[in-house]
Every structure is written in structure tokens, then in C-alpha cells.
Amino acid sequence: MTAKPVVIVGGGGGGDAAAFALRKKGYDGEVTILSADRDRPYDRPYLSKEFLRGEVEVQKVFLHDEAEYKQEKIEIRLQERVVGGSLRDRTVSLQSGVEVRFGTLVVSTGGTPRRLPDAPDSYNVFTLRSLRDSQAIRDALKRGKRLLLVGAGFIGAEVGASARQLGTEVLMVESAPVPLSRALGEEVGEIYASIHRNHGVDVRTATTVTEWHSYGGRVTAVTLSDGRREEVDVVLIAIGIDPNLEVPRVLGLPIEGSGVRVDEGLRAADGVYCAGDIALHPHPVLGESIRVEHWEVAKHHGRGIATSIASGHARDDLAVWRGDKEALRFSVFYIRGGLIRAVLSINDKKVNEIGGKLIEGRRPVDEKTLADVSTDLSELVPTAAS
Ligand SMILES: Cc1cc2nc3c(=O)[nH]c(=O)nc-3n(C[C@H](O)[C@H](O)[C@H](O)COP(=O)(O)OP(=O)(O)OC[C@H]3O[C@@H](n4cnc5c(N)ncnc54)[C@H](O)[C@@H]3O)c2cc1C
């Protein structure tokens, strides 16, 4: 059976993890990442922290070297925005007009930072999502003396802390009376605001920008809702994201609120998966569907999707042999849905015992590793810490 081509829309946390995990799990079909970004996938959390502060250089921020994509036969096509597609025809279409066929589709398109409708489109007014955004803010902070942060959420807080470390004055304006109170509760939100104040951030809560003052194409000052006028050199608007749902929408995937509804296997339709910030997925413990904007969650989604795709391709039932058939000393692992369901051994007691533990561990195991007698199977048994 020839593996169906997997097309991944989005070269971020979820998309990149899915591509590499597919190879790790032995998927040998075509894997293509289509990414609107100008750069190959990078570690987004660095962008408001170490990279912004100039502590790590750009090479460290990339998730993989260019050579690794070649080595793993992952085709990565940058600056390719998907703008259309059809589930019936199994195609997505690019802005350039080109159509790309898929057997299985993974959509992990992340989100776009919200802007304030009245904020001018000036070169010193930023939002932060991409590596290029972070580079531009980093450069602007080198020249600017005072940063205005609109929004005291996680991104605003991290950039505020980074800017303070760089010696920049920071004015943080937050419309809510207590920062992050919806996410963390009022008490924690107050503590959080006081930590910023102790680090020299001028935090103004229950405050908004009412007027923007520009000169020579740049914002030079703002008037706040308390009537005060504040001079600023750099502005970052950090008031959250809108998940990028254009692709799910054109494909007719089920959209609910601000996410795409997926099942426990992150499936939104037959052979179509969604990961990361856009996925509204059933939470096994909470018993409700949630959408989470976290780096590790996006990567975990990508890896989980890869397991489903790779194990689906490996047929429903599979027998993996290990040992010497002729000498009647061998074991056979029976695999279904990517997991070992049973093990039969002839004169191979140790492997049989480990096989039992692997069944209990309920972790996907690579077929080639199982079959390779030079591998130590006990290393595959999950420990309490893994
Ligand atoms: C500055 C910053 C710091 C962060 N820090 C943390 C942190 O410390 N901890 C944490 O848990 N989370 C953090 N996050 C959040 C985390 O990065 C995201 O939750 C995560 O990246 C989501 O992964 P994703 O794959 O859904 O989207 P993304 O990583 O955003 O990737 C989306 C990709 O899709 C591409 N794309 C979008 N539309 C299209 C299209 N139509 N066609 C083709 N490609 C498209 C984009 O160009 C991008 O490459 C941070 C986010 C930012 C911006």
C-alpha cells in the first residue's frame, strides 16, 4: 500500500511537530508543510523572552536546521498561504493559484494578534507573533527609551519584563481593573501587577488609550482615559489573538465560537486534523471542549496527530516479528491502532515479559525498533516519570 500524501497547513508549533513525528513513527509517504511564514519553523516562546532580549541568536530559535527537513524528506514550502480548498477533491489551493493534493490534511494555522481599530498603522506600532515581528521590536527597543504596552496579558507581561531588563522604561495600559483576572482570578492578578510594579513597570489598570498623537509617520504620544498625555517611542499592542480560521472555513470544517471542533483524535473531518491554537478539543479530565493557546499543547497535538496518521497507515492489524524463526526462538507483537495489543513468544521469555509491560504502557512503539534485535526493548517501557 502506498502511503497517502500528508499536507500540513502551518509551519508553527503544531505543524512542525506533526511533520517530524510522522517520520519518527515510520511514516514513509510524502510530507509537505505549507507555511505563510517567511521563515522556517521556530520556537515562538523565545520571541518575547530570550530572543527579544538578544540573549540568543536567530540560529538557536529555529526548531530544525534546513538540512534536517531534507534528511527527513519533509518538503517545506515557505511564503505559501493556503486560501482555498475542497474536501471532496482532496485539494488545497495557494494564493499563487497552485492546487496541492492531499491524502490526509493537518491544519495548524495559529492566530493573528488583534489590533485596536483606532491605532495608527505607524512603523513604531507593533504586534508580536512572528520572528520578524520580534526582530523589529528588538531593533526598535534599541533606539526607543519608552515602550507603551497596550494589554497586560502574558505577551504584554513578558515583553514588559524583557524591556525592563534591557533598561527601557515601560508604561503598561490595561483596560481591566485587575490584569489577567479572568485567567488567574483577582487575587493572583493583583500579585502579578505588583510584581511588574516592583520591577519598575508603570502599570495603569482600568485605563485605555483615547487618542493617538503622531508625527512624521510615527506615534509620539498617547492620551489615556485618565486624561494624561504620555510620550512614547515604541508601542506594542498585545490584546490577544484571533485564531486563523480561514482555511477551516473554506473547507467547511465544524467551527464553534473561535475554534474548530475536533474529536478526541483531533479529527475535524475524515482524514482532516486540526492542532494548536485553533483546535477546540474534548478535554479528557475536564469533560468539556476547550481551546488552549500553549506551545506544548500545540506540539503535543502535532505528535498525537502523527501517531494517528502513522498507525492508521500501518493497517489495523499488524504482526511484528523479532528473533530467529528458524531456531524457534522469537516473539511476535500484534499491533492495532499503533499500539501493541498482544505478544506471543517461543523460547523468548525476557522479550515476552517486556512485551507485557509495553502492552500496559499503551504507548505507540515503532515497528522497526521492535523488530530490531539489537535494540534493548526495556528502554521503551514507560517509567513513572515518562
Ligand atoms: C511571542 C510569543 C510568546 C509565547 N510564549 C509562550 C510560552 O511561553 N508558553 C506557551 O505555552 N505558549 C506561548 N506562546 C503561544 C504559542 O506560541 C502558541 O500557542 C503556539 O505557537 C500555537 O501553535 P500553532 O501551531 O497553533 O500556531 P503557530 O505556531 O502560530 O503556527 C501557525 C503557522 O501557520 C501559518 N499560517 C497561518 N495561516 C496560514 C495559511 N492560510 N496558509 C499557510 N500557513 C498559514 C503561520 O504562518 C504559522 O507558520 C507564545 C506566543 C507568542 C506569539
Cβ–ligand 1 contact at 90 (below 6 Å): no
Q: Which three cell numbers stand for residue 69?
A: 527537513
| Whether residue 314 has pLDDT greater than 50 | no
For residue range 318-334, list pLDDT tens digits in order: 778 899 877 888 888 87
Cβ–ligand 1 contact at 248 (below 6 Å): no
Q: How confident is the model at residue 339 (pLDDT cuts 50, 70, 90)?
A: confident
In this prediction, residues 16-21 reach a mean pLDDT of 98
Cβ–ligand 1 contact at 81 (below 6 Å): yes
The alpha carbon of 313 and the centre of ligand 1 are apart by a number of angstroms equal to: 28
Residue 341 is predicted with a pLDDT of: 75
Beta bridge partners of 74: 31
Cβ–ligand 1 contact at 37 (below 6 Å): yes
Exposure of 296 in the CB half-sphere (CA atoms within 13 A): 0
**Kind plus residue range of the DSSP H or E element containing 133:** helix 131-143
Domains in the chain (CATH in brackets) are 6-112+242-315 (3.50.50.60), 115-239 (3.50.50.60), 316-386 (3.30.390.30)
Residue 72 is predicted with a pLDDT of: 98
For residue range 273-287, list pLDDT tens digits in order: 999 999 999 876 667
| Whether residue 130 has pLDDT greater than 80 | yes
Cβ–ligand 1 contact at 151 (below 6 Å): no
Cβ–ligand 1 contact at 218 (below 6 Å): no
Q: How confident is the model at residue 181 (pLDDT cuts 50, 70, 90)?
A: confident
C-alpha 27/C-alpha 21 separation (Å) is 9
In this prediction, residues 104-115 reach a mean pLDDT of 98
C-alpha 80/C-alpha 59 separation (Å) is 22
Q: Which of 44, 130, 158 has the most ligand 1 atoms within 8 A of CB, as the residue to mutate?
A: 44
In this prediction, residues 242-261 reach a mean pLDDT of 98
Residue 292 is predicted with a pLDDT of: 93
Residue 315 is predicted with a pLDDT of: 59
Strand order in the sheet with 91-94: 82-86, 91-94, 99-101
Residue 386 is predicted with a pLDDT of: 52
Q: Which of 64, 129, 290, 295 has the most ligand 1 atoms within 8 A of CB, as the residue to mutate?
A: 295
Q: Which three cell numbers stand for residue 326?
A: 528458524
Cβ–ligand 1 contact at 9 (below 6 Å): yes
